[in-house]
């Protein structure tokens, strides 16, 4: 069954801005609370949004996150302009990270970002072009209680 | 949302309230609105943190605790003071003396909580050993933190350590012991917590994790302070209780930040105190940012329970008194860990039921309508000045926009909108400029 978009929101993410990192995912969380999404689903969306946002902050110059709410699912699209991922299979391995020493010292770059995103999504798609950027598409199904 | 003041520890004295915005501005869950020049609490949103009580310049916000009439219902009255009580008096007055004075002023029995704090600490360690996820595990000691999580961070309910705080465990143990020892009916025993905050009253009347609290009531340190002081003055040096000379330094430490984690064998633990810092760190936890932290101690009051709104001594002096007592009693473990392990396995410390999420109601229960209201809220928010003046009766512009979207306020309540309209700067004119 085809369902239509009930809500769309866009967020800009600035690469290298560690100070404001995480704000978009907080906004997304609040929106989902406002429209009565189940708290377990919110938790999953929040983790996905936060990890994806951090990836943009760490590895890209600029990025956009789009939130789409359908009656039966939530779709997150994250596109960035940045260095891209050389070997996606490798990047998907838990613990694998290309984070710099400085990032690790700040507590980022444990190599769990992409694996965590995948773990929390129902459908996960990734596309990356080296020196251009990365696109993520994540779907999380809503267990439909009230349409 | 039919919650009334009966479920809460805070009441507004409408005669004293002048309708200033102090309480409304500070409220972390935005539960207060000014209507008809008086503050009103939406009790469905209140988490009993007591911040409003602290800032009210008119003393119009009153804590609700156990009355003396309620207290007199019990044949056998037991005082179970928070160790914070010990830090309220000068350094020449020792915990034993305070406990014995409590017996002089009408309690049949007194009990020191510190030893139980130490036991609960060991139980928490056992829980961390046996459960490797989720992380971080969050302390259950502060009843406001539990309510804050239920309301604002419902996804973190699973992270709360399912172990009752020391005051409940102490009361549970005491009632069993006393009824056997003194041959009393369990219902004749009234176990009263002497508390630094009113929130404990809520956790006693409406516990989040069991049907009925093991405590029967709470009296604030403020209420009882004068009678203790008077008695001490009168008695000179009161007789020292012989039966309870084992006060635990580790246990006393629970009343200041870091107390719960100091004795844990896990090193990657964090202690946070104060409302806004607690909210900030819970936001980080909700994002999955702090998964490598084992245990998180959150206390709503600044500097933890020594900074409770119903204490007398200022929190810096109280903290220094606490540190002195901790040094004096030492960090030696006074509890047999095998005994605690056995109790733990018998589920003596466990929650009866898990903490349930109680998120704020969405803009509408119908999702399509909720989304419509969300868009409307955002549209209104763009029109507002963003000055957060509070004159409309809502704490800030975003909350006002939400109230309008929910149909609980009118756009004309905003003074800036009103001025604009009276100047004829309607929508049409704005577009032209």
- Place B427 in a pLDDT band, splitting at 50, 70 and 90: low
Output DSSP code: residue B357.
P
Mean pLDDT of chain B: 91
B288 and A116: CB-CB below 8 Å?
A: yes
pLDDT at residue A97, rounded to an integer: 83
Between CA B306 and CA B314 the distance in angstroms is 8
Contacts of A34 in chain B (CB under 8 A): 362-363, 370, 374, 377, 402
CATH topology (fold) of B367-432: 3-methyladenine DNA Glycosylase II; Chain A, domain 3 (1.10.15)
**Domain spanning B5-63 has what CATH number?**
3.30.70.20
Between CA B376 and CA B382 the distance in angstroms is 10
Between CA B244 and CA B110 the distance in angstroms is 10
Smallest Cβ–Cβ distance between A36 and the set B289, B365, B377 belongs to B365
B377 and A71: CB-CB below 8 Å?
A: no
pLDDT at residue B243, rounded to an integer: 43
DSSP of B166-221, one letter per residue?
A: HHHHHHHHHHHHHHHHTT--GGGEEEEEEESSTHHHHHHHS-SSSSS-S--EEEEH
Domain boundary assignment for chain A: 5-141
Residues in chain B: 433
Q: Are strands A5-14 and A60-70 parallel, antiparallel or unpaired?
A: antiparallel
Smallest Cβ–Cβ distance between A33 and the set B288, B362, B377 belongs to B362
DSSP of B116-164, one letter per residue?
A: HHHHHHHHHHHHHHH---SSSEE----HHHHHHHHHH-GGGGGGB-SB-
Nearest to B95 by CA among B215, B310, B255, B273: B255
Smallest Cβ–Cβ distance between A146 and the set B155, B361, B367 belongs to B367
CATH topology (fold) of A5-141: Heat Shock Protein 90 (3.30.565)
pLDDT at residue B239, rounded to an integer: 54
What does each C-alpha distance from B427 to A4, B111, B121, B383, B409 come to in angstroms?
31, 68, 62, 10, 20
Q: Are B78 and B110 in contact (CB under 8 A)?
A: yes
B154 and A39: CB-CB below 8 Å?
A: yes
Domain boundary assignment for chain B: 5-63, 68-345, 367-432
Closest-CA residue of chain A to B280: A26
- The answer, yes or no, to whether ipTM is higher than 0.90 is no
Hey, is A56 helix, strand or coil?
helix
Between CA B40 and CA B30 the distance in angstroms is 11
A69 and B371: CB-CB below 8 Å?
A: yes
Sign of torsion over alpha carbons B374, B376, B378, B384 = negative
Contacts of B288 in chain A (CB under 8 A): 46-47, 50-51, 116
pTM: predicted TM-score of the whole model, two decimal places: 0.87
Q: What is the pLDDT of residues B105-155, one digit of tens each?
A: 999 999 999 999 999 999 999 999 999 989 999 999 999 999 999 999 998
B433 pLDDT above the threshold of 50: no
Measure in Å the smallest separation between the Cα of B368 and chain A Cα atoms.
Answer: 7
Q: Are B82 and B113 in contact (CB under 8 A)?
A: yes
pLDDT at residue A112, rounded to an integer: 75
Closest-CA residue of chain A to B358: A39
Q: What is the pLDDT of residues A59-111, one digit of tens each?
A: 889 999 999 999 999 999 999 998 888 888 888 888 888 788 777 777 677 77
Closest-CA residue of chain B to A120: B288
């Amino acid at each position: 069954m085809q369902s239509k978009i009930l809500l769309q929101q866009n967020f800009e993410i600035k690469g290298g801005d560690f100070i404001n990192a995480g704000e978009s995912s907080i906004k997304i969380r609040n929106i989902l609370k406002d429209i009565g999404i189940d708290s377990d689903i919110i938790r999953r969306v929040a983790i996905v949004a936060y990890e994806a946002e951090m990836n943009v902050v760490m590895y890209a110059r600029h990025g956009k996150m789009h939130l789409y709410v359908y009656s039966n699912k939530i779709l997150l699209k994250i596109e960035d302009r940045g260095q891209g991922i050389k070997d996606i299979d490798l990047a998907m391995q838990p613990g694998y990270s290309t984070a710099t020493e400085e990032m690790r010292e700040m507590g980022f770059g444990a190599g769990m970002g992409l694996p965590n995103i995948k773990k929390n999504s129902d459908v996960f798609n990734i596309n990356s072009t080296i020196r251009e950027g990365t696109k993520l598409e994540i779907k999380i199904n809503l267990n439909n209680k009230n349409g | 949302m039919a919650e009334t003041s009966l479920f809460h520890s805070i009441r507004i004295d409408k005669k004293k309230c002048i309708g200033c915005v102090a309480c409304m501005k500070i409220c972390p869950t935005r539960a207060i609105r000014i209507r008809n020049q008086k503050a009103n609490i939406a009790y469905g949103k209140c988490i009993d943190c007591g911040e409003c009580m602290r800032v009210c310049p008119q003393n119009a916000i009153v804590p609700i605790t156990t009355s003396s009439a309620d207290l007199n219902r019990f044949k056998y009255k037991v005082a179970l003071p928070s160790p914070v009580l010990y830090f309220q008096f000068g350094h020449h007055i020792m915990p034993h003396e305070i406990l014995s004075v409590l017996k002089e002023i009408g309690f049949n029995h007194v009990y020191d909580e510190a030893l139980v704090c130490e036991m609960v600490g060991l139980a928490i360690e056992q829980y961390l050993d046996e459960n490797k996820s989720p992380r971080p595990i969050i302390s259950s000691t502060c009843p406001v933190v539990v309510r804050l999580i239920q309301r604002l961070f419902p996804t973190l309910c699973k992270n709360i350590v399912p172990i009752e705080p020391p005051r409940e465990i102490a009361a549970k143990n005491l009632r069993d012991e006393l009824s056997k020892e003194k041959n009393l009916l369990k219902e004749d025993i009234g176990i009263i917590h002497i508390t630094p905050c009113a929130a404990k009253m809520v956790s006693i009347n409406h516990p989040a994790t069991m049907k009925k609290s093991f405590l029967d009531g709470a009296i604030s340190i403020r209420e009882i302070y004068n009678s203790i002081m008077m008695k001490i003055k009168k008695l000179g040096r009161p007789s020292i209780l012989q039966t309870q000379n084992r006060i635990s330094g580790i246990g006393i430490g629970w009343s200041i930040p870091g107390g719960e984690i100091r004795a844990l064998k896990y090193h990657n633990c964090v202690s946070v105190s104060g409302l806004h810092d607690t909210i900030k760190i819970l936001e980080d936890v909700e994002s999955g940012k702090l998964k490598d932290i084992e245990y998180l101690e959150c206390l709503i009051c600044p500097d933890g329970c020594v900074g409770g709104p119903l204490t007398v001594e200022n929190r810096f002096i109280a903290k220094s008194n606490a540190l002195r007592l901790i040094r004096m009693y030492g960090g030696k473990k006074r509890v047999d860990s095998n005994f605690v392990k056995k109790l733990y396995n018998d589920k003596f410390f466990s929650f009866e039921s898990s903490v349930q999420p109680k998120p704020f109601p969405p803009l509408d229960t119908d999702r399509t309508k909720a989304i419509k209201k969300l868009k409307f809220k955002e549209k209104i928010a763009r029109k507002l000045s963003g000055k957060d003046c509070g004159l409309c009766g809502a704490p800030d512009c975003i909350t006002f926009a939400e109230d309008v979207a929910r149909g609980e306020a009118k756009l004309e309540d905003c003074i800036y909108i009103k001025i604009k309209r009276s100047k004829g700067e309607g929508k049409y004119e704005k577009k032209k400029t």
